[in-house]
Structure 1
Amino acid sequence: MKLTKALLSATALCAAATTAHAVDLEVTHWWTSGGEAAAVTQFAKAFNEKTEHNWVDGAIAGGGSTARPIMVSRILGGDPMGATQFNHGRQAQELVEAGLMLDLTDVAEAEGWKDVVHPSSLLDACTLDGRIYCAPVNIHSWQWLWLSNSAFADIGVDVPANWDEYVAAMPALDAAGIVPLAMGGQAWQSSGAFGVLAIAIAGQDAWKAVNIAKDADVAGGEAYAKVFDAAAAAREYSKKTNVQDWNQATAMVIEGKAGGQIMGDWAQGEFAVAEKVAGTDYTCLPGLGVNAVIDTAGDAFYFPKQDDPEVEAAQKELAALMLSKEVQVEFNLRKGSLPVRGDVDLAAANDCMKKGLAILESGNIMPSGDMALSPDTSGQIEDLMTEFWSSDMSAADAQAEYAGIIADAD
């Protein structure tokens, strides 16, 4: 069994003067779709094969909005798992501040995470008071529009190159019985799609003013009025989706039953499982084809503290493995995400992943909403977007309520 410097350090620090035994380490996450399951299996495989320990899978169906409260409740209730997924940003901040998460600084220093994690904001999102409390594992961007090439062939229209061309084709898709815009029924999907529209239509400066500076005047102003008008128009063409889960909506695009979907690059995992080829079977437009930008959202793993040195050693071994070169490649190729390491070879990346890598290299990146907004503010926006996308709420009324949320945001 080969151990990296960090693994040896972790063992020495946490299990000195003891005999190491295999640990059954429960790992909770919300990766349950076909593509997600194929990806997370790479973590489990590496942990089981490269250490003496066992990965105990704790998948929770229903997405992050369902899983996170369960995870938090268990940690607060004294029933912590060995490791748990959160998104980069502020979702676990209160748990870290309460002293409930394992400090991974020794692992990060031994493995040189500060030298290889790119962009550095990913590691910054794991850092509090100079200490590192999570292992970032990927870069996921919301800023994508996925289009079904066969759907547009069926209506005799070229695959759109941008959002305006797509909107212009929506009536023809609708007339042909093809759902123009697939939109699942979960709150985070409508909220995420709105954020993508905001960056593409209002622009990066306006988005930053609202989400980072919490400028309610911009949120209630002309730039965002255009975003709400665009969302209201798109809403009419998404009402026939009739599915809840995001991957069900993606399946509609894969099968040509829907023209397109606004969804993060994790959708690539579903296209890969379906053996669809980027550029041939489907088209991906970063920034809706309007603004080639990606946000640096993504997933990270936190390790709840447990009063057991052998468990702690196993936790640190897993943290190190998750950022190792080989595991980063195998996981992200299946997940559709970009690696957090800037020194890995992704020659096998498909056309869409290469677009994302090129944008990342260009530096045209932004923080994610999870990094800028508190869980409470994000929840309020999700509630508003659920009401807006599922009703006839006017764009003006929705914008006024949105501006009020931003005015009170923490």
Structure 2
Amino acid sequence: MKLTTKMLGATAIVAASATAANAVEMEVMHWWTSGGEAAAVAQFAEALNNNTDNTWLDGAIAGGGDVARPVMVSRIIGGDPPAAFQFNHGRQAEELVEAGLLLDLTDVAEEQNWAEIINPPSLLEACTYDGRVYCAPVNIHSWQWMWLSNAAFETAGVEVPQSWTEFVETVPALEEAGITPLAMGGQAWQQNGSFGVMAIALAGEEAWLAVNRDKDAEVARGPEYARVFEAFGAARDYSAGLQVQDWNQATNAVIEDTAAAQIMGDWAQGEFALAGEVAGEDYSCLPGLGEVAVLDTGGDAFFFPVTGDPEMEAAQKELAALLLSPEVQVAFNSAKGSLPIRGDVDLTTVNECTQKGLDLLAAGQTLPSGNELLSPDTITQLNDLMTQFWNDTSMTPADVQEQYAQIIESAS
């Protein structure tokens, strides 16, 4: 959502009311509404309610970030801001920061030594504008995962694949067994996100960075990306037997063994955990589709609108510090399926999939997320293009590749 000068000029941010001196009710807006996500965000609410005099008022918005973000921005520029809101790491809040609508957290970051404890440093950099810190990163989420139903492959009489290449070889057996090879929901961000995973795995890190970081449209038109678009077209066929909308519905198809696999970020682990599934026994995981050993380091952060109320500001900064405390980091990320942003917390009890992620993080085998490299407007254009391709079988891989390259050519 663009913030026009006219809209900002008409905005008068009003103070959020306190329920009592030094004890405020804090409305926190987010889009974590699936079962696993709700269990995770409850860890934040419990920490605030149990460790401060303040109260968490849950402001969940169903439908994902594409639905929630415009609502949050409208609340802020309309003079009715929440106490805090979730965005992804990256450039989504740039215009709000530039307009002076978000609370400067630099004093909290310095007091809590965020520069030393946040790993990788790019997460804090994504919260920093003109040398000032405006958000509290709470996790590392990576898109670079493929989740596999062990039982589905057993039913099809084939071994659980260890790479995308091997997965493609199992598709005929899966289809013969009546199992949808690849689960995909109907939301545009799912299709574009899956394409990004395939691009890193099949075109390679160098080509992906050339396109996403350097905005090199010739690489996007080239043979490395042609391979990705051909594979993406095949993936469209692999998913044809499943008609679901939300990402967690697609994950549930893998949990129920009616679909064999899903390309989805590590937040899917929250759904597996909620269903009582055990990594390595009930499901398997392939970082980088088993083709490249790498994670992109996206994730979630909380921003805090300026309210003009000293008591609310004190409560906001108290919450920002609490979100990064070791105990809260472990509790939240264990439930969410994500990795903590602190490198000094005890995660000895994590499952084998989370451990794979931690090992890649420790080895420095990471890339920035697309949210950090591309503007929200560019991402919206790519989302629209990928969902158009996914739903229009008359559109060829060559067609979508050229349109994709044109978007990259004008990307900001």
Shift of residue 74, structure 1, vs aligned partner: 1.0
Q: Is residue 117 of structure 1 aligned with residue 118 of structure 2?
A: yes
Match of 1:67 in 2: 68
Match of 2:405 in 1: 403
Shift of residue 337, structure 1, vs aligned partner: 0.3
Mapped partners of 2:77, 2:406: distance in 1: 31
State the one-letter code of the partner of 2:154: A
Q: Is residue 375 of structure 1 aligned with residue 376 of structure 2?
A: yes
CA contact (8 A) 2:156 2:176 kept: no
Match of 1:94 in 2: 95
Q: TM-score, normalised by structure 1?
A: 0.95
Match of 2:363 in 1: 362
The alignment partner of 1:85 has SS state of strand
CA contact (8 A) 2:157 2:173 kept: no
Match of 2:283 in 1: 282
**Percent identical residues:** 66
The alignment partner of 2:101 has SS state of coil
Mapped partners of 2:160, 2:106: distance in 1: 48
State the one-letter code of the partner of 1:395: P
Mapped partners of 2:116, 2:21: distance in 1: 30
Match of 1:302 in 2: 303
Which segment is superposed worse, 142-151 or 20-29?
20-29
Q: Is residue 269 of structure 1 aligned with residue 255 of structure 2?
A: no
Shift of residue 78, structure 1, vs aligned partner: 1.2
State the one-letter code of the partner of 2:335: R
State the one-letter code of the partner of 1:283: S
State the one-letter code of the partner of 1:187: A
Mapped partners of 1:396, 1:368: distance in 2: 25
Mapped partners of 1:66, 1:171: distance in 2: 37
Match of 1:29 in 2: 30
Mapped partners of 2:157, 2:104: distance in 1: 57
Shift of residue 41, structure 1, vs aligned partner: 0.3
Mapped partners of 2:127, 2:253: distance in 1: 36
Shift of residue 20, structure 1, vs aligned partner: 3.6
Q: Is residue 129 of structure 1 aligned with residue 125 of structure 2?
A: no
State the one-letter code of the partner of 1:344: V
Mapped partners of 2:158, 2:262: distance in 1: 17
Q: Give the length in aligned residue pairs.
A: 392
Q: Is residue 394 of structure 1 aligned with residue 396 of structure 2?
A: yes
Shift of residue 103, structure 1, vs aligned partner: 0.3
The alignment partner of 1:139 has SS state of coil
Shift of residue 269, structure 1, vs aligned partner: 0.3
Shift of residue 234, structure 1, vs aligned partner: 1.1
Q: Is residue 155 of structure 1 aligned with residue 156 of structure 2?
A: yes
Mapped partners of 2:238, 2:121: distance in 1: 39
The gaps in structure 2 that reach 5 residues or longer are 1-19
State the one-letter code of the partner of 1:172: A
Mapped partners of 2:264, 2:123: distance in 1: 21
Mapped partners of 1:375, 1:73: distance in 2: 16
Q: Is residue 256 of structure 1 aligned with residue 253 of structure 2?
A: no
CA deviation string 1:284-319 (max 9, x = no partner): 000000001000000000001101000101100100
Mapped partners of 1:20, 1:222: distance in 2: 63
Match of 2:225 in 1: 224
Shift of residue 369, structure 1, vs aligned partner: 0.3
Mapped partners of 2:213, 2:116: distance in 1: 27
Match of 1:338 in 2: 339
Mapped partners of 1:160, 1:281: distance in 2: 14
The alignment partner of 2:241 has SS state of coil
Match of 1:348 in 2: 349
Mapped partners of 1:62, 1:239: distance in 2: 22
Mapped partners of 1:56, 1:124: distance in 2: 29
Shift of residue 402, structure 1, vs aligned partner: 0.2
Mapped partners of 1:175, 1:311: distance in 2: 60
CA deviation string 1:141-169 (max 9, x = no partner): 00000000000000110000100111111
State the one-letter code of the partner of 1:154: T
Mapped partners of 2:209, 2:79: distance in 1: 38
Match of 1:185 in 2: 186
Shift of residue 345, structure 1, vs aligned partner: 0.5
The alignment partner of 2:33 has SS state of coil
Match of 2:16 in 1: none
State the one-letter code of the partner of 2:204: G
Greater than 6 Å deviation, 4+ residue runs:
none
The alignment partner of 1:264 has SS state of coil
Shift of residue 190, structure 1, vs aligned partner: 0.1
Mapped partners of 1:239, 1:407: distance in 2: 31
Mapped partners of 2:41, 2:75: distance in 1: 22
The alignment partner of 1:317 has SS state of helix
State the one-letter code of the partner of 1:186: Q
Mapped partners of 2:229, 2:368: distance in 1: 22
The alignment partner of 2:286 has SS state of strand
CA deviation string 1:372-406 (max 9, x = no partner): 00000000000000001111110000000000000
State the one-letter code of the partner of 2:406: G
Mapped partners of 1:239, 1:172: distance in 2: 16
Shift of residue 21, structure 1, vs aligned partner: 2.8
Match of 1:5 in 2: none
State the one-letter code of the partner of 2:370: G
Q: Is residue 316 of structure 1 aligned with residue 317 of structure 2?
A: yes
The alignment partner of 1:135 has SS state of strand
The gaps in structure 1 that reach 5 residues or longer are 1-18
State the one-letter code of the partner of 2:254: V
Match of 2:139 in 1: 138
The alignment partner of 1:52 has SS state of coil
Match of 1:16 in 2: none
Mapped partners of 2:303, 2:362: distance in 1: 27
